[in-house]
């Protein structure tokens, strides 16, 4: 499914987004829009070089070992079926890799941080180290982890700039998250970022 074209400008200054950013753990169940999902995925890993391949976040050697997945709940994003979707930066599209609302399973795998099951969207950042270790060896693992931090902050600031809120979760059991997602074990989950409207 092709995503709407992302905006390249907005009303909230970068300074304000940085100033206001906080890790939020309580979200409203108000649905998000496909435009908001598109914008978040673009901020995370979208291609920002016209006609090229370079992305929104820096990557050692421009080797891009990260993948982004969207865990979408029932009635969480207008017009979208619940499930887990994989983001494809090359054509700014998503594809369904697993049906059903898997948010509770992701929350269970995240040491029972059950607030994640009530967040409309959980973005999962994974790394495939083989893409970067060919050039950098073991040090490539360090580079991929640093890159995940850049992607995470982009998601945080983009959410803030759109009037949304985000959380960040590193406490989870890797094998359980991999199983819930149904992805290859060579893809290591590094961060889960719940996104939605802040709860009252």
Ligand X SMILES: Cc1cc2nc3c(=O)[nH]c(=O)nc-3n(C[C@H](O)[C@H](O)[C@H](O)COP(=O)(O)O)c2cc1C
Which range, of 8-16, 22-30, 88-96, 138-146, touches ligand X by CB under 6 A? 22-30
Using rule CB under 6 A, residue 25 touches ligand X: yes
d(CA 149, CA 158): 14
Could you tell me the two tokens for 161? 């700039």
Q: Which residue is nearest to ligand X (CB)?
A: 170
d(CA 13, CA 11): 7
d(CA 74, CA 120): 8
Using rule CB under 6 A, residue 127 touches ligand X: no
Element (H, E) at 158: helix 139-161
Strand order in the sheet with 121-128: 93-99, 83-88, 66-72, 121-128, 187-196, 165-166
Using rule CB under 6 A, residue 70 touches ligand X: no
Using rule CB under 6 A, residue 171 touches ligand X: yes
In the region spanning residues 102 to 121, those forming contacts with ligand X, defined by CB under 6 A, are 113
Using rule CB under 6 A, residue 54 touches ligand X: no
Q: How many residues does the chain have?
A: 200
Which range, of 64-72, 74-82, 166-174, 177-185, touches ligand X by CB under 6 A? 166-174
Using rule CB under 6 A, residue 23 touches ligand X: yes
Binding site for ligand X (CB under 6 A): 22-23, 25, 113, 168-171
């Amino acid at each position: 499914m092709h995503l709407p074209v992302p905006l390249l400008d907005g009303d909230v200054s970068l300074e304000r987004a940085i100033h206001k950013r906080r890790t939020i753990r309580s979200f409203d169940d108000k649905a998000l829009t496909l435009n908001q999902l598109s914008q978040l995925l673009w901020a995370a890993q979208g291609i920002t070089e016209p006609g090229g391949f370079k992305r929104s976040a820096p990557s050692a050697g421009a080797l891009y070992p990260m993948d982004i997945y969207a865990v979408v709940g029932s009635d969480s994003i207008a017009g979208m079926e619940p499930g887990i979707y994989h983001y494809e930066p090359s054509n700014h599209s998503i594809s369904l890799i697993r049906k059903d609302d898997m948010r509770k399973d992701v929350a269970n795998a995240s040491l029972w941080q059950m607030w994640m099951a009530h967040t409309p969207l959980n973005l999962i950042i994974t790394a495939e180290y083989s893409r970067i270790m060919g050039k950098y060896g073991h040090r490539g693992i360090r580079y991929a982890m640093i890159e995940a931090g850049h992607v995470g902050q982009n998601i945080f600031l983009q959410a803030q700039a759109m009037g949304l809120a985000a959380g960040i979760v590193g406490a989870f059991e890797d094998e359980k998250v991999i199983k819930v997602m149904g992805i290859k074990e060579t893809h290591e989950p590094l961060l889960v970022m719940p996104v939605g409207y802040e709860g009252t």
